[in-house]
Amino acid sequence: MRKAVYPGTFDPITLGHLDVIAQAAPLFGELVVAVLHNPAKRPWFDLDERLEMIRDAVASFPHVRVDAFSGLLVDYCRASGIECVVRGVRNHVDLQNEMAMAHMNRALYGDLVTLFVPTSPEWSFVSSSLVKDVAMHGGDVTRFVTPRVARALAARAEGMANRHA
């Protein structure tokens, strides 16, 4: 059974991420959505919250599993028996950045290949950062995330606004 990993911070998961998952999942016996735990970053949602939101979002995909990792992706892949990394790309800028990471990963783990999956056009502008920015300013993000994520974003944005008031 071929396994692949779709790594990221997913802070939070968006419908663009789910589009990439829907395209890649049928290609593998198992697709692991691996959430990077990086204490240096300041995510809106802690690791457990992100894992739960992702598990909820991918519940309808039978061969998708959610996991967390820290450190180098290549170490996680080697330890997990994974030889394919799935990366979503929205535009040429994403592709350029992803190519550099793919080359570095391949240099560190020669058996690791990267599969680039272009997002569907309707998600080409959606990013977790933009969704958080819209939510922070009271905008409607329901078109870009799952209902659970939209509720979590609204609650987090309200909490942040109350702290700054």
Q: Which domain holds residue 56?
A: 3-123
pLDDT digits (tens, 9 = 90+) for 36-79: 998 778 899 999 999 999 999 999 999 999 999 999 999 999 99
In the chain, how many domains are there?
1
Tell me the catalytic residues: 17, 41, 90, 128
Structure tokens at 16: 């663009």
Q: What is the mean pLDDT of the chain?
A: 94
CATH code of the domain containing 47? 3.40.50.620
Does residue 134 sit within a domain?
no
DSSP state of 110: T
Does residue 49 sit within a domain?
yes
Q: Which amino acid is at 152?
A: A
Does residue 163 sit within a domain?
no
The C-alpha angle 154, 155, 157, rounded to 5 degrees, equals 65
List average pLDDT for each run of 10 residues in the chain, which is 165 residues long.
Answer: 94 98 97 91 93 98 96 97 96 92 96 96 95 95 97 88 58
Spatial distance between the Cα atoms of 31 and 58, rounded to a whole number of angstroms: 11
Does residue 72 sit within a domain?
yes
Does residue 146 sit within a domain?
no
